[in-house]
């Protein structure tokens, strides 16, 4: 017998079913609430609202757990590759050898972008943020590759095309912003190797591939690959719910990710650490300002809507950071600042009582700096990582038998009905 909750309001009493997930988390199904009582619910920021059932990612914010399709993030980061994780998220199961080979062939086949797209890059003003450019370019893919999906095979092609081309577009935008020759993808390189080569190879200085750098990039992308119903994923689902095409939905996700409270935090963390390094801000002042309710400043890279303990991705990222800097013999002063900041914050009553711990963005920027990625490309790196998650969530919503156009309601607080006043009487 499934559980229900009895809801009484005025003379109406209704039974609301309780929905239970495979990990035991529960929700009240209020889909009949308005019809039966005339009431809606209010939940600013959707802090208590589940918008779908999903079989992709499980998070437990109290225990610091993250799993993709049931597999712990720690195991995937240690043993898998980004390509394999992308396949897992989108298709639900780890690929067989034959399946991953086929996926790699497709990623290679679709890695070039239409040459006409190169002209777009030249039309953006010099200071354009790469996230704005990426969002526009992904939206433009629909015009260049208009035929999207019909059969399962066609959907797979569109999905693979997108994963492959986003990486090429990101590297291209970097090269063009520097006024350098574009480097094309190579069939002999892996997904991550290809990205690094397209970013850093030059006719006068061939890029020397370092296994540890490739591995650090792969782990970075795996850690970002999905995070259930976060802001950008919700944007992808909401836009997609109007039955818009995959490219436009992902373009909306990229735009949503850009903000400093979400994906843009990785750039904001480094900018904060650099300010401290330049002595424009002290560590103690940063902590003090972040606790002051009259100051909008927040300690970037700290806090999370779901995690009320150490973000499991941040733990892995910190290890990757230490390993990479050690291997490359890099002594980054920002790492020392970050570690001191973390120690102070973790022992501060405000941060303890508010359950504020480092999130994935706290150490990721230092890893990206060590790889050679410029700061304004950090959030683009997050977007490349999050892409398989967005695609998996978009596909799941398209196949959901309970699918509905996403359309929240509101409580109107504006003026009540009043009559129009002609201009001469105002
Ligand atoms: N520094 C200082 N105080 C903070 C911080 C912070 N980074 N984060 C939250 N708080 C305080 C906040 O002032 C509030 O205090 P009070 O209850 O006394 O008014 C309390 O903690 C709850 O904050 P909230 O804004 O209601 O919580 P939220 O769940 O809406 O915010 C967050 C989550 C990530 C937007 C927020 O923690 C934040 O702004 N962090 C800094 C930006 C950041 O690092 N973002 C990356 C998130 S992880 C990457 C991703 O998945 O997008």
Residue 195 inside a domain? The answer is yes
Residue 306 inside a domain? The answer is yes
Which of 201, 227, 304, 311 is labelled catalytic?
Answer: 304
Question: Per residue in 30-64, pLDDT tens?
Answer: 999 999 999 999 999 999 999 999 999 999 999 99
Instruction: Report the CATH number at residue 189.
Output: 1.10.580.10
Share of the chain above pLDDT 90, in %: 88
Instruction: Report the CATH number at residue 321.
Output: 1.10.230.10
Residue after which a domain boundary falls, among 197, 229, 261:
261
Residue 30 CB–ligand 1 contact under 6 Å: no
Residue 186 C-alpha from the chain's centroid: 27
Q: Which residues contact 337 (CB under 8 A, 6 or more apart)?
A: 273, 276, 277, 283
One domain, residues 292 and 220: no
One domain, residues 279 and 255: no
One domain, residues 204 and 82: yes
Q: Say what the pLDDT of residue 123 is.
A: 86
One domain, residues 92 and 217: yes
One domain, residues 143 and 168: yes
Question: Per residue in 58-82, pLDDT tens?
Answer: 999 999 999 999 999 999 999 999 9
224 is catalytic: no
- Which stretches of the chain score pLDDT less than 70? 1, 148-150
One domain, residues 89 and 223: yes
Residue 412 inside a domain? The answer is no
Residue 263 CB–ligand 1 contact under 6 Å: yes
Q: Say what the pLDDT of residue 411 is.
A: 97
Q: Say what the pLDDT of residue 1 is.
A: 60
Q: Say what the pLDDT of residue 10 is.
A: 92
One domain, residues 158 and 250: yes
One domain, residues 170 and 288: no
361 is catalytic: yes
Residue 133 inside a domain? The answer is yes
One domain, residues 121 and 141: yes
One domain, residues 140 and 249: yes
Question: Per residue in 396-424, pLDDT tens?
Answer: 999 999 889 999 999 999 999 999 999 99
Q: Is 304 exposed, middle or buried (0-12, 13-18, 19+ CB in 10 A)?
A: buried
Give me the domain span that covers residue 316: 265-371
Residue 407 inside a domain? The answer is no
Q: Which two tokens stand for residue 170?
A: 């990101």
Tell me the pLDDT of the chain averaged across its residues: 94
Instruction: State the SS3 of 92-154.
Output: CCCCCHHHHHHHHHHHHHCCCCCCCHHHHHHHCCCCCCHHHHHHHHHHHHHHHCCCCCCCHHH
Which string of DSSP letters, residue by residue, matches 42-75? --GGGTT------SSEEEETTTTEEEETTEEHHH
Instruction: Report the CATH number at residue 10.
Output: 2.20.28.60
Residue 359 CB–ligand 1 contact under 6 Å: yes
Q: Which protein residue has the closest C-alpha to ligand 1 atom 34?
A: 304
In the chain, how many domains are there?
A: 3
Residue 272 CB–ligand 1 contact under 6 Å: no
Residue 275 inside a domain? The answer is yes
One domain, residues 270 and 143: no
Ligand 1 centroid to Cα of residue 355, in Å, is 10
One domain, residues 245 and 278: no
């Amino acid at each position: 017998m499934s559980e229900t909750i009895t809801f009484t309001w005025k003379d109406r009493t209704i039974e609301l079913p309780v929905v239970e997930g495979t990990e035991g988390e529960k929700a009240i199904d209020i889909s009949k609430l308005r019809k039966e009582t005339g009431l809606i619910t209010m939940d600013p920021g959707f802090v208590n609202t589940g918008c779908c059932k999903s079989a992709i990612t499980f998070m437990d914010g109290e225990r610091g757990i993250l799993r993709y399709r049931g597999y712990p993030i720690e195991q995937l980061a240690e043993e898998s590759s980004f390509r394999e994780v992308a396949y897992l998220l989108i298709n639900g199961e780890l690929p067989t050898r034959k399946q991953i080979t086929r996926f790699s062939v497709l990623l290679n086949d679709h890695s070039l972008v239409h040459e006409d797209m190169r002209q777009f890059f030249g039309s953006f003003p010099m200071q354009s943020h790469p996230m704005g450019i990426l969002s526009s370019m992904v939206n433009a893919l629909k015009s260049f590759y208009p035929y999207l999906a019909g059969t399962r095979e066609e959907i797979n092609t569109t999905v693979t095309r997108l994963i492959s081309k986003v990486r090429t577009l990101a590297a291209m935008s970097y090269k063009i912003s520097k006024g350098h020759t574009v480097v094309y993808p190579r069939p002999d390189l892996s997904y991550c190797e290809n990205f690094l080569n397209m970013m850093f190879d030059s006719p006068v200085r061939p890029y020397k591939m370092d296994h540890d750098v490739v591995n650090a990039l792969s782990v970075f992308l795996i850690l970002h690959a999905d995070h259930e119903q976060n802001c950008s994923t919700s944007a992808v689902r909401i836009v997609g719910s109007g039955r818009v095409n995959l490219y436009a939905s992902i373009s909306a996700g990229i735009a949503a990710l850009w903000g400093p409270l979400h994906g843009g935090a990785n750039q904001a963390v480094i900018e904060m650490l650099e300010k401290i390094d330049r002595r424009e801000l002290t560590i103690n002042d940063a902590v003090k300002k972040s606790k002051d309710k009259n100051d909008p400043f927040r300690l970037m890279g700290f806090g999370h809507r779901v995690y009320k303990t150490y973000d499991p991705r941040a733990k892995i990222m910190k290890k990757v950071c230490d390993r990479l800097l050690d291997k490359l013999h890099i002594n980054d002063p920002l790492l020392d600042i970050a570690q001191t900041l973390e120690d102070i914050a973790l022992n501060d009553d405000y941060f303890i009582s508010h359950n504020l711990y480092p999130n994935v963005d706290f150490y990721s920027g230092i890893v990206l700096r060590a790889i050679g990625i410029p700061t304004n490309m950090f959030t683009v790196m997050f977007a490349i990582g999050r892409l398989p998650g967005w695609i998996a969530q978009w596909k799941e919503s398209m196949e959901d038998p309970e699918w509905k156009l996403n359309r929240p309601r509101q409580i109107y607080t504006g003026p009540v009905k009043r009559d129009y006043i002609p201009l001469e009487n105002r």
